[in-house]
């Protein structure tokens, strides 16, 4: 059984990508779910794949469901279409669009085909993640929610007790221990 490895780039920044390994007999709906999981997106919105060429032009559409819109050709449905059936060239490319209002776009490229399954993996599998992915509904901080809780609990915006400041002449002020520096020098 062939294992296909796809690199899924976030269209706006190609340094952000996820590698996904999937069996050629699995469906596009499984690839769709794995991409959403890899980028920490929910599954509440419409989605579609397009078979593509080297110039990232839209070809045959493979959609989550048949939507009420005009199609150039009847679309394939993700739940019925195996990935292997749409691989036409060795470095096959697909476009993946998610949430038609926000227009999240991902570029997908076949980067490896293997005959060997990894018994430690459950396919489809996210086998590599590079870069911090976009946040689906807003900003995603590097430090996350835990840091915000710590910052709020300890009020990190205030100076800590026991730490003073020096004036322009280098004299300490604002601490309880100001003036003890000279007495320590005599010891």
DSSP letter string, 47-75: EEEEEE-TT--EEEEEESS--SS--SSPP
**Alpha-carbon span 113 to 3, nearest angstrom:** 6
* CATH code, 59: 3.10.290.30
Give the pLDDT band (50/70/90) at residue 169.
low
Please compute the mean of the pLDDT values over residues 35-50 and round it to a whole number: 94
Give the pLDDT band (50/70/90) at residue 126.
very high
45 has a pLDDT exceeding 70: yes
What is the chain's alpha carbon radius of gyration, rounded to the nearest angstrom?
27
- Give the DSSP H/E element, type plus range, for residue 96: strand 93-98
Give the pLDDT band (50/70/90) at residue 72.
confident
146 has a pLDDT exceeding 70: no
Q: What is the pTM of this model?
A: 0.72
The answer to whether position 167 is within a domain reads no
What share of the chain in percent tops pLDDT 70? 74
pLDDT in tens, 80-120: 999 999 999 999 999 999 999 899 999 999 999 999 999 99
166 has a pLDDT exceeding 80: no
The answer to whether position 150 is within a domain reads no
List the one residue out of 49, 63, 62 whose CA is nearest residue 97: 49
The answer to whether position 137 is within a domain reads no
Cα 164 to the chain's mean position, in Å? Answer: 43
The answer to whether position 34 is within a domain reads yes
**Alpha-carbon span 26 to 1, nearest angstrom:** 11
What share of the chain in percent tops pLDDT 90? 60
For 52, list phi and psi in degrees, rounded to 5: -135, 175
The answer to whether position 136 is within a domain reads no
The answer to whether position 69 is within a domain reads yes
What is the pLDDT at residue 172?
A: 55
Please compute the mean of the pLDDT values over residues 132-147 and round it to a whole number: 65
Domain of residue 104 covers 3-130
The position carrying tokens 């996350």 is 144
The answer to whether position 124 is within a domain reads yes
Task: Provide DSSP, 110-178.
Answer: EEEEES---TT--SSEEEEEESPPPPSSS---SSHHHHHHHHHHHTTTSPPTT--EE-TTS-EESSTTT
Q: Give me the residues paired with residue 58 across strands.
A: 52
Q: Are strands 47-52 and 58-63 parallel, antiparallel or unpaired?
A: antiparallel
**Alpha-carbon span 95 to 144, nearest angstrom:** 30
Mean pLDDT of all residues belonging to the chain = 82
140 has a pLDDT exceeding 60: no
The number of domains in the chain is 1
What is the pLDDT at residue 181?
A: 47
The answer to whether position 112 is within a domain reads yes
């Amino acid at each position: 059984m062939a294992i296909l490895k796809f690199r899924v780039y976030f269209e706006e920044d190609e340094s952000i990508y996820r590698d996904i390994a999937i069996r050629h007999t699995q469906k596009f709906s499984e690839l769709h779910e794995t991409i959403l999981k890899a980028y920490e997106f929910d599954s509440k919105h419409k989605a579609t794949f397009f078979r593509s060429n080297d110039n990232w032009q839209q070809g045959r559409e493979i959609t989550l469901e048949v939507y009420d819109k005009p199609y150039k050709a009847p679309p394939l449905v993700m739940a019925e279409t195996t990935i292997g059936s749409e691989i036409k060239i060795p470095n096959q490319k697909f476009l993946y669009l998610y949430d038609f209002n926000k227009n999240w776009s991902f570029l997908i490229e076949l980067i490896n085909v293997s005959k060997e399954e990894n018994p430690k993996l459950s396919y489809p599998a996210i086998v590599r993640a590079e870069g911090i992915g976009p946040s689906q509904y807003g900003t995603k901080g590097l430090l996350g929610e835990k840091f915000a809780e710590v910052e709020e609990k300890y009020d990190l915006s205030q100076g800590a007790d026991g730490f003073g400041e020096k004036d322009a002449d280098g004299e300490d002020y604002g601490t309880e221990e100001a003036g003890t520096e000279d007495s320590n020098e005599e010891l």
